[in-house]
Structure 1
Amino acid sequence: MSCLIALLRDARVVTGRDVATGEVEQDKQELAGRWLGAVGYMTLFDQIGSAYRPSNEAELSGQAFIKALQYFAPEIGELERDALYALRCSFVHDYSLINIPFMGSQQLRERRTHHFMLTASDEAGPIVRLPSQRWDGSIDRCRLSNATWVNLRALGDLAEQVFCRLVAHHEAGTLTIALPGGLNELQRRYAMTIRPIRFVDP
């Protein structure tokens, strides 16, 4: 079994999606905005960006999360990608709604400095809504007017779309393993065997 499939399954279960299709189930709409489910989907971006790229795309540098969106969701703009990466960092490292990076260029740190407001609406709209005035990183100056809004249901939909595009590239023969160790590394890192539990008589 692939770790990627296990990750996708778990993210779907947590967010009330059909395990086979990824569609949000009618009687589980309220689960679509679960933070842990969003963490799962963000980890999916990390793994995809680490392990794969379309064969017709030049190899990119940078964080795996960002590369997954550049390769498989190019419609997401640079500032939106940075905002999603900032939310990924705040969730994964601190399970919080504030990200203040301390590494990288001044420009990059500014782009990834956000305080977040979250929604899980199924209405059509952007995944990320950036503030008209950038937040300066001061805790005392968190305001609705400088908050970055992220729709976690739409984030899950994006992750499902990225996975579908990955599968389409695989089926078309246009998917490349991006890991330095190629197929061997992919199998070692991301494949697993589920073994039955054997009970031994005392």
Structure 2
Amino acid sequence: MNFKNLSNEEIISFHLNLIEPYDDDTIVFSSLVAALRDARQATGRNIETGENPDKNNNTLSSNWLGSICYLVILDQLGKCYKAKKDPNLTDLSPIQRCLKLNTKLSDQEIDAIYALRNAFAHDYSLSNKNSKKPSLTHHFTLRGAYTNPFIKIPSVKWDGQNENKSIDNTTIIGLPWIGDFVEDIYKIVSSLHTENKLEIIIPGGAEEIKNRYLLFSYKH
């Protein structure tokens, strides 16, 4: 297969789905698919489908590393794609844009998820401070079950001062829901591509997707 002459549609297909042999010594795969598999494995989900086999007793579904991986997937999808009918929302980060366009979450809930991603990814903590955008300042309590609601925004806003943390200003998130949301968004994006309704929005276009997210691995 000549990967130098792929069409935009083929590149998207490979990005969303690809893990296949390239020649006798190498395989080519998509980092998005690798992230999905890692997230699913870490959270005890079906590796091929992403389904949570036992929502009541799957203790892995709240795994922090798996949750980080799912949030990274949101970043990559939001950076690369949107539905052709949707606005660009260039004032939002990729993860915020992805959630805004593909879920019914409120802006407050979206900012809370973005803040959790920052807290996890930057220093594996449960607090995030942002002096320029107070809506991204949160400290979290994480639940290992399907809490209702998925996210509970506190009635009292945390001011970012550690000595002022309390139960009244903590943001509560049920971690298993994150995997469900991301799996649903992945299916939405894949369906949009199948229906020819998906638009590439990453600045370098399809070539950047190919060069950044389609990877080669040696078998030996």
Q: Distance in 1 between matches of 2:99 and 2:43?
A: 21
Q: Distance in 1 between matches of 2:165 and 2:140?
A: 9
1:57 counterpart = 2:86: yes
CA contact (8 A) 1:33 1:152 kept: yes
How far 1:134 sits from its partner (Å)?
1.0
Corresponding residue for residue 20 of structure 1: 48
Q: Distance in 2 between matches of 1:165 and 1:136?
A: 36
1:26 is aligned with what amino acid? D
Report runs of 4+ in structure 1 exceeding 6 Å deviation: none
RMSD (Å), alpha carbons: 1.4
How far 1:184 sits from its partner (Å)?
1.0
Q: Distance in 2 between matches of 1:50 and 1:168?
A: 18
Which of the numbers 49, 60, 65 marks the counterpart of 1:31? 60
CA contact (8 A) 2:62 2:175 kept: yes
Q: TM-score, normalised by structure 2?
A: 0.83
How far 1:25 sits from its partner (Å)?
2.7
Where do 5+ consecutive residues of structure 1 fail to align? 198-202
Corresponding residue for residue 67 of structure 1: 97
Q: What are the residue-to-residue correspondences of 1:114-133 with 2, within 5 Å?
A: 114-122=138-146, 125-133=148-156
From the two aligned structures, give the one with the greater strand fraction. 2
Q: Distance in 1 between matches of 2:51 and 2:197?
A: 26
How far 1:122 sits from its partner (Å)?
3.0
Q: Distance in 2 between matches of 1:82 and 1:54?
A: 21
Ranked by relative contact order (alpha carbons within 8 Å, sequence separation 6 or more), the top structure is 2
Q: TM-score, normalised by structure 1?
A: 0.90
CA contact (8 A) 2:146 2:175 kept: no
CA contact (8 A) 1:135 1:146 kept: yes
Q: Distance in 1 between matches of 2:134 and 2:203?
A: 32
Q: Distance in 2 between matches of 1:100 and 1:180?
A: 29
Aligned length: 190
How far 1:179 sits from its partner (Å)?
1.4
Q: What are the residue-to-residue correspondences of 1:148-159 with 2, within 5 Å?
A: 148-159=171-182
